[in-house]
Amino acid sequence: SFSQVFRAVLCFNIFSAIFVHGMRKVFCAVCVPTYMASMLTIFTLKSPILPTCVIIYLISMWRLGICMSVCLHRYSAHAAFKCGPILQFGINLFGCLANQKGPIWWASHHRCHHKYCDLPRDPHSAVIVGTERAFSFFLEHFSVEEEFAPKHNDNWILRLVDTWCFFVVWAELFIAYKLFGREGLFISYTSLWLCQTGTLWFNVANHPASTPGTCKATSYTVHPEEWYPAFQLLQFLIPTLGRIVGENNHDDHHKHSMRAKRGEFDLAYYVFILPLKMLGLVWDVKDTGLE
């Protein structure tokens, strides 16, 4: 039966993660293998496999490009544009749908990363703490880094959103199931963990130890030395997704962190920030790189 196959694959993934690939963090040893095993569910759905995969890819692109790159990264962490309180609230809710904790938490640790890039206080430097700890850094950095909390995106309402961010994800999963059944739940769940792990992989792949200088930020992502299946999958998917949503020019980003437009081909900018700018809903858009 499917349940027997699933349990066998899950056990194999967990045991191989621990005993073959040497994973010791709960996230890499248990959670990520569970993510990988859950992909078997696609064979039990009524919807065709290929269209389902395409939909997952497109929704993952939306999460990475809008929810993560625009809402969490460009706005909450770097104030790449300004907006009114209603849109700000919406942007924070969208940021929660990236499945990476709350916008204030995310921004505070990312700003700390910029300040101490690949130095001991960097929360996710693979050079300092190794690939696995950098990939699962949120297990060791649970609270907001108050020194780096974004002043432009910090009030009591947004703190509530930040604290209860997981309710936004739960609400999406519930709505997806109610509206589209098991197929909708699977698509929502899979795109959520792909966005989560994909962003975590950015932290590792864009800071290879071979890059000269203290800060290892580069647009060139090296292939992971670990044969851990999840890392191989993410290395296959993320470079293309990152290029589409404007997250691949990582060395330039460390030089111009407040830039709202990342490179000539930045789908996230053109489909989200630019239309809002034209409507007058966002302003002071830093799309020239001058800060």
Q: In this structure, what token pair is assigned to residue 69?
A: 């790159």
Q: What is the pLDDT along the chain (291 residues), one digit of tens a residue?
A: 899 999 999 999 999 999 998 999 999 999 999 999 999 999 999 999 999 999 999 999 999 999 999 999 999 999 999 999 999 999 999 999 999 999 999 999 999 999 999 999 999 999 999 999 999 999 999 999 999 999 999 999 999 999 999 999 999 999 999 999 999 999 999 999 999 999 999 888 888 777 777 787 777 666 676 788 888 888 888 878 888 888 877 888 888 899 999 877 889 999 999 999 999 999 999 976 544
pLDDT for 251:
82
Q: How far is CA 66 from the centre of its chain?
A: 11
Same domain for 209 and 125: yes
Same domain for 219 and 179: yes
Same domain for 139 and 249: yes
Same domain for 62 and 33: no
Same domain for 54 and 39: no
Domain membership of residue 288 (yes or no) is no
pLDDT for 291:
45
Query: How many structural domains are present in the chain?
Result: 2
Same domain for 127 and 197: yes
Domain membership of residue 290 (yes or no) is no
Q: What angle do CA 275, 279, 282 make, to 5 degrees?
A: 80
Domain of 113, in residue numbers: 48-283
Same domain for 257 and 154: yes
Task: Give the Cα separation of 246 and 64 in Å (integer).
Answer: 10
Task: Give the Cα separation of 44 and 222 in Å (integer).
Answer: 36
Same domain for 230 and 181: yes
Instruction: List residues bridging with 282 in a β-sheet.
Output: 83
Same domain for 88 and 22: no
- Reduce the DSSP state of residue 108 to 3 states and report it: helix
Same domain for 28 and 55: no
Same domain for 144 and 274: yes
Domain membership of residue 15 (yes or no) is yes
Domain membership of residue 291 (yes or no) is no
Task: Give the Cα separation of 177 and 184 in Å (integer).
Answer: 6
Same domain for 131 and 35: no
Domain membership of residue 289 (yes or no) is no
